[in-house]
Amino acid sequence: MAVHASRTTTSPLILVAMILAVSMSFIDQTIVAIASPDLQRDLALTRNEGEWVINAYLVALAATFALGGRIADAWGHRTMVTVGVAGFAISSALCGATPDTSWAETWLITARTAQGVFAAVLLPAAISIVYGSTPAQRRGRSMAMFFGLTGAFTALGPVLGNYLLEWSWRTIFWINLPVAVAALVAIALAPISRARRSGGIDWIGAVLVAAGMALSVVGFSQSDDWGWDSVATWACLVAGAALLVLFAVVERGRVTPLVRLDIFRLRGFRVDSMVLFFAMIAFVPIAYFLSVYADVSLGLDAGGASHMLLLFFLGYLIAAQVGGHIFDARGAKQTILLGCLVGIAGYVWWATQVTTLDPADQTHPLLLAGAGIGLLLGPASADAVSRSRNASYGEVTGINQTVRNYGSALGFAVLGTLASHVFADRFASSLVGLGVRRSAADELAREAATGGSGTADLGSVPRSMRGAVEDAVAADFALGMRAVLIGMAVALALAFLVALRHPGDRPAREDTPVDTSSAV
């Protein structure tokens, strides 16, 4: 049983252990994206396959996060953090061991999916431990510190990626192994409660939500290859939506549902969740798109892409601390609205500069865009969790993070399709303007849009035109990037409109924080 006591501080070792535990998954959000151009070239992956290396992780994470939260409650947070760290490390090693063969794509995407599943086991348990071990009056600052420091690990990804890529892209996965060892040692030493919460696990609901989310993301992601007139595209989208509706119907009749949908009747929780859904569209995919843009349009190596991404995270980290203080003093609504407005301004400004093909012009927009996300992300997450009643931390964080990660995966798929269509259309027009026949231009544009990094076979283009064609690739890919940034600004605008409905109060959970000073 949990021991209740009055605490004014959180054990520093608990915070250190949980930050180390989740750091691998946060590092992976950016380090894999930075390595994506090298990885795609080395394994001869197409652009779509390269995107799936990123999105397979996000889809698996979103599809199994609610289940991970429920399992953490039933089997114990400490146990599942340990299992999650070990499993994530093993699947990372398998990613690094991807064979250079015709089935490299299948191996790597399968291993990335396994990483996502183990992250879904790890993250809800870790977040629940941090939140549940912190006194109510300090939760805003504690969660801001937690998300800020884990965000720092996200920002560390570009630095590590730039350094590790001097050897091989495989090292970006192997770097997780020493981190996992340190995390397991810290977990063993930290005074984390072994308490469990009784209740069954809704495996049918888990299958329905996982299949529904996966199919909907596959439909959007593959629409570029299959086409919008393809039966397969619409079959995935319709089946995915139907399964999610069926999931909602089934959950209402469960005694112990995987997701307590009645929580969404609380306006504050519903608004926070929708804000996070839209905000994650503008946050997680940025590392991948920025890395490919830096490679194709700017001609930068991993170091140049890392520098640009670090500017984004510098704005994020500074603003995250400001957002945490505003949340503690005035509640979530003000910092969420401010974050949306700052983020919109940053992304729109960035969109106007991205086609200049000069990294210096993008410094301040990058900082501003990152600051917008930093202001709203921690407060919206903490506020959503604090609004639940009669629900465990694992359950609520499972719901909250499922919404976030589904937004990331779906946004990645939609924005990838948007970027590809814009680039292909503009590049075909550029080729026609250079004197290439329309049929040949369309074929080259399709090849470039689906190639590994916006490249195409220019063998059919006269040698005298190749320099101009390469310039067109860089300029037209930048237009695709501009479309992505505008799409992200639109997502934040939707988040702002939703946030206007936030009740603006400052709820406090009624349940007493668990005393983790002694392990049972």
pLDDT digits (tens, 9 = 90+) for 458-475: 555 666 677 888 889 999
Mean pLDDT, range 465-494, rounded to an integer = 93
Q: Domain residue spans in the chain?
A: 3-201+258-424+476-509, 202-257
Q: What is the model's pLDDT at position 148? A: 61
Q: Which of 58-67, 152-161, 229-238, 337-346 has the highest mean pLDDT?
A: 337-346
DSSP string for residues in 118-153:
HHHHHHHHHHHHHHHTS-GGGHHHHHHHHHHHHHHH
CB-based contact 288:345 (threshold 8 Å): no
Provide the terminal-to-terminal Cα distance of the chain, rounded to the nearest Å: 8
> Residue 504 pLDDT > 50, yes or no?
yes
Q: What is the model's pLDDT at position 147? A: 64
* pLDDT range class, residue 391, cuts 50, 70, 90: low
Three-state helix/strand/coil letters over 217-274: HHHHHHHHHHCCCCHHHHHHHHHHHHHHHHHHHHHHCCCCCCCCHHHHHCHHHHHHHH
Q: Could you tell me which residues are beta bridge partners of residue 515?
A: 3
Query: Among the listed ranges 93-102, 194-203, 302-311, 318-327, which one has the minimum average pLDDT value?
Result: 194-203
Distances (CA, A) of 422 to 335, 340, 351, 429, 478: 34, 26, 14, 11, 10
DSSP helix/strand/coil, 364: helix
CB-based contact 174:96 (threshold 8 Å): yes
Query: Among the listed ranges 77-81, 215-219, 459-463, which one has the minimum average pLDDT value?
Result: 459-463
Q: What is the pLDDT of residues 147-175, one digit of tens each?
A: 667 666 777 777 788 788 888 999 999 98
Q: Could you tell me which residues are beta bridge partners of residue 514?
A: 4
C-alpha 369/C-alpha 102 separation (Å) is 39
C-alpha 225/C-alpha 432 separation (Å) is 23
State the DSSP H helix or E strand holding residue 294, giving kind and residue range, or none if neither: helix 286-296
Q: Which of 215-229, 316-330, 477-491 has the highest mean pLDDT?
A: 477-491
* pLDDT range class, residue 514, cuts 50, 70, 90: very low
Q: What is the model's pLDDT at position 394? A: 56
Q: What is the model's pLDDT at position 5? A: 38
What distance lies between CA 390 and its chain's CA centroid? Answer: 29
DSSP helix/strand/coil, 3: strand
Q: What is the pLDDT of residues 33-48, one digit of tens each?
A: 888 888 888 888 888 8
Above pLDDT 90, what percent of the chain?
41
DSSP string for residues in 30-51:
HHHHHHHHHHHHHHT--HHHHH
* pLDDT range class, residue 18, cuts 50, 70, 90: confident
> Residue 10 pLDDT > 60, yes or no?
no
Percent helix, strand, coil in the chain, to 5, is 80, 0, 20
Q: What is the model's pLDDT at position 513? A: 38
**Residue 454 backbone class (left: φ over 0; alpha: ψ -120 to 50; beta: rest):** left
Q: What is the model's pLDDT at position 393? A: 58
Q: What is the pLDDT of residues 441-450, one digit of tens each?
A: 888 888 777 7
Which positions ≥6 away from 363 have C-beta within 8 Å? 311
Q: Which candidate, 409, 384, 349, places its Cα nearest to that of 268?
A: 384
Q: Which residue has the higher pLDDT, 77 or 155?
A: 77
Q: What is the model's pLDDT at position 3? A: 37
* pLDDT range class, residue 497, cuts 50, 70, 90: very high
* Mean pLDDT, the chain, whole residue set: 84
Which tokens belong to 266? 């609380």
> Residue 412 pLDDT > 80, yes or no?
yes
C-alpha 315/C-alpha 283 separation (Å) is 13
Q: Which numeric CATH code is attached to 3-201+258-424+476-509? A: 1.20.1250.20
Mean pLDDT, range 274-297, rounded to an integer = 93
CB-based contact 257:202 (threshold 8 Å): yes
CB-based contact 177:93 (threshold 8 Å): yes
CB-based contact 377:144 (threshold 8 Å): no
Which tokens belong to 123? 């993250």
